[in-house]
Amino acid sequence: MFADLHLHTLFSDGTYTPAGLVDAAVAAGLSEIALTDHDTVDGWEEVSAHAEQAGLAFVPGTELTAELNGRELHILGYYVDSAHPELAGELRSAQEIRCRRVREMVARLNDLNIAISVDAVLEAARCRAPGRPHVARALVAAGFCTSLDEAFERYLKKDRPGWVPKPKMSVTKALRLIHAAGGVAVIAHPGLNHDDRLVGRLARMGFDGIECRHPKHSPAATARYEEMARELGLVATGGSDCHGTTKNRPTIGTVRIPRSWVDALRQRVAERRAEARKAAKAAKAAGPDAPQINAGADACPASPPASPPTPEAQESGSIP
Ligand code: AMP
Ligand code: FE
Ligand code: FE
Ligand code: ZN
């Protein structure tokens, strides 16, 4: 009974199809998976349908790119209402920014006499949230690089000739959006931020969880983040951040978390939504002239979709 709460597909920069992801999850012995594609929720429907067929529970998620003091932070939003107008609008705008950025990156590469076309990149990407990996794939396909790593090293890493900065929303805004859409916000792979003081700061801002387990976290870092989650009263999560075969071998199955952690995450969602309903009720009772409290979460389903227990769980009745 293990879960992976951080997975990508070809709806952003992964290589898995929905069916391929679910097959890989089954092969890795997982019973529950979250889809957390960058800046999109486009894959939810198909992945959840395949997951259901395979008897896996599905956790809806997305990975937002945000900024705090000029630093890029990734934020996982789980159980958000994908139809929430403000969230949907922000995702659309992040996707437009991504497409514009791909155009600019290709233009810079063209200036270096690297003949790849925007149409070829976008046609091959076939998703609404394209990024550097898609440009890297085009560089390899056209023979300008022999590997994705080389494409990043030579052209696409920060300050390399094909690199274009990506405008990002503030962390405060990302957090507010996720909560307004009835979801919970988790600090993705804090080990990649190289500054653990940020964790406490983000916790004080109102984050709900820390992604403690991640392939890039050492055992010591994992233990440290699990301890921080306990001390700060945050939910601990984890996932393989698998992008399929984008980078070497797929990491799915190398990082997994017990079902009880996912239950704690769902509990947090229920608490957040109850708080939002209470605040909305209080605001209503105070009358129309009272200051408005953001009651966005009230428009969301009353409780998060319960993951169906697997036959195994029903038999043993236990949570690992
Ligand atoms: P972007 O969001 O467009 O800035 O692209 C960032 C994405 O590039 C990350 O989420 C990774 O999936 C991917 N990435 C970063 N470095 C590499 C690399 N060396 N090889 C392949 N993919 C990479
Ligand atoms: Fe990625
Ligand atoms: Fe990330
Ligand atoms: Zn990721």
Residues within a 6 A CB radius of ligand 1: 13, 38, 131-133, 136, 148-149, 152, 166, 243, 246-247
For residues 35 and 259, the answer to whether their CB atoms sit within 8 Å is no
pTM, two decimals, is 0.89
Residue nearest ligand 1's atom 20 by CA: 149
Expressed in angstroms and rounded, the spacing between residue 228 Cα and the centre of ligand 1 is: 28
The C-alpha atoms of residue 294 and residue 202 are separated, in whole angstroms, by 20
CB 188 within 8 Å of CB 211: yes
Asked whether the predicted pLDDT for residue 316 surpasses 70, the reply is no
Query: pLDDT tens for residues 274-314?
Result: 998 998 899 989 887 765 544 444 332 333 333 333 333 33
Q: What percent of the chain stands above pLDDT 70?
A: 90
- Residue-wise pLDDT tens digits, 31-89: 999 999 999 999 999 999 999 999 999 999 999 999 999 999 999 999 999 999 999 99
Residue 191: DSSP 8-state = G
- Kindly report, residue by residue over 135-189, the tens digit of the pLDDT: 999 999 999 999 999 999 999 999 999 999 999 999 999 999 999 999 999 999 9
Residue type, 119: D
Q: What is the pLDDT of residue 1?
A: 86
**What's residue 113's pLDDT?**
96
Ligand 3 (ion): residues with CB under 5 Å are 74, 188
Atom 10 in ligand 1: residue holding the nearest Cα: 13
Is 54:34 a contact under the CB 8 Å cutoff? no
Pick the residue whose CA is nearest to atom 18 on ligand 1: 149
Q: What is the DSSP string of 236-284?
A: EEE---B-TTSSSS--TTSS-EEHHHHHHHHHHHHHHHHHHHHHHHHHH
pLDDT of residue 319: 24
* Average pLDDT score, the chain: 90
- Residue 148 has a pLDDT of 94
pLDDT at 246: 74
pLDDT at 23 over 50: yes
